[in-house]
Amino acid sequence: MSVELFVTDKAGLTKFYEAIISKNETYAPVEKFGKYDFKRVSSFDACNPDAPIAQTMSAKPLFFPRSAKIMKYTADHSGTSVKETDEDSLAGKRVILGMKHCDARALQVLDKVYNWDYIDTDYQRRRENTVIISARCDKAETHCFCTSLDYDVEHSDAMDVAIVNGTDGKVFIEARTEKGKVFLKEMNIEQRISNNEFQVTDETAPAAVKQQYEAFAASFRLKMDYTEVNARLSKIFDSPEFENVSANCISCNTCAFVCPTCHCFKISDEKVKDTGVRYKSYDSCNNGYFTLMAGGHNPRPVKYRRWRQRALHKFVYYKERFGENLCVGCGKCTNSCPVNISIFEVVKQVSETVSV
């Protein structure tokens, strides 16, 4: 894959962001109650593209809304009429700023489940219409472990345009996909170069980008050998250790709601008088009644079984089925967990109880 690499400085980047926001339907992290969530922004000052992972919600709701209307109906004396609906603006082209690479990677993982068998067209359309601009982190946060997993963080093409902070205030801008290249053209990259806001890079640039990555990779506190852990976990279904690691869990479901890759949902009907809406909203496998059937049978009646499903679905089942690890190592669940259960620690602790 050919790469287009440009270099600019902080001021040039800010101008670039401002131009993006003024020309496109842009979503970026906006602060509310000390937490950043991706919202539509109209000015650069309102958002913070460098929001830390720990304080930022996932951008997943922009593709898979927390509650999507899948159908509307009216039923009155004249009869019943059903309307397929999704009044989210699906048509327009959108740009997302400030998405971290783990968050972007999560979408690539989700593509697999949304595109097997039945293809979710709404999701598909949102994916196609979106340009992701992502800044690579400079330093790992407390619960990050993306480099320990099965994907290439350095050359990830999950984002369309990658931004890398070099040394001496240099900022590298790199188009990683065709969509990204087209987008940079649309943003008049050539004119910016002639204005001297951007420069074409010389041959030292790739080395500088690599250097930044190495410094970033060295800053991780959490490291594990993914292949080994995956191999161990796939034999561990009956391990009593799950009961120990899940003892602390209070089944609050936060982890699933903030997770960028959790994709389980529930379908519920809401009605008022003679109109109603059918919603598809997030659900969590940590819920006691997630698998409870109407007859009263529940395949996963106790907490450790639900925990096991969550951990193994992330690290084993999805890999078996779709060839990717469902966890992307962003650490959002651990950050949000009221009792600080770390999925990294859990997986590591459990996997250490068996030998390969």
Contacts with another protein in 273-292 (CB under 8 A)? 273, 275-279, 281-285, 289-292
- Please state at what angle helix 101-114 crosses helix 121-128, rounded to 10 degrees: 140
| H helix count then E strand count, the chain | 13, 12
Q: Considering only residues 18 through 77, tell me which ones interact with another protein, judged by CB under 8 A.
A: 32-35, 37, 57, 66-67, 73-75
Residue 87 CB, nearest approach to another protein (Å): 9
Q: Is 178 left (phi over 0), alpha (psi -120 to 50) or beta?
A: alpha
Q: How many CB atoms lie within 10 A of CB 227?
A: 10
3-class DSSP assignment, residue 124:
helix
Q: Which of 258, 311, 330, 350 binds another protein (CB under 8 A)?
A: 258
Using the rule CB under 8 A, is 113 a contact of another protein? Answer: yes
Considering only residues 87 to 106 of the shown chain, the ones binding another protein according to CB under 8 A are none
Beta strands in 194-241, from DSSP E residues, in sequence order: 199-200
Least Å distance between CB 331 and another protein?
11
Q: Which span sits near another protein by CB under 8 A: 41-49, 126-134, 165-173, 247-255?
A: 247-255
CB of 265 to another protein, least distance (A): 5
120-179: which residues touch another protein (CB under 8 A)? Answer: 120, 142
Instruction: Using alpha carbons, select from 317, 186, 338, 179 the residue that is nearest to residue 258.
Output: 338
Rounded to the nearest whole angstrom, what is the least distance from the CB of residue 191 to another protein in the complex?
A: 39
Dmax (CA) for the chain in angstroms is: 74
C-alpha distance across the termini of the chain, in Å: 37
Cβ proximity to another protein, 17 vs 257, nearer residue: 257
Least distance (Å) between residue 321 CB and another protein: 4
Pairing of strands 79-84, 25-32: unpaired
Q: Which of residues 300-339 bind another protein (CB under 8 A)?
A: 300, 302-303, 305, 309, 312-313, 316-318, 320-321, 336, 338-339
Q: Which residues pair with 265 in a beta bridge?
A: 282
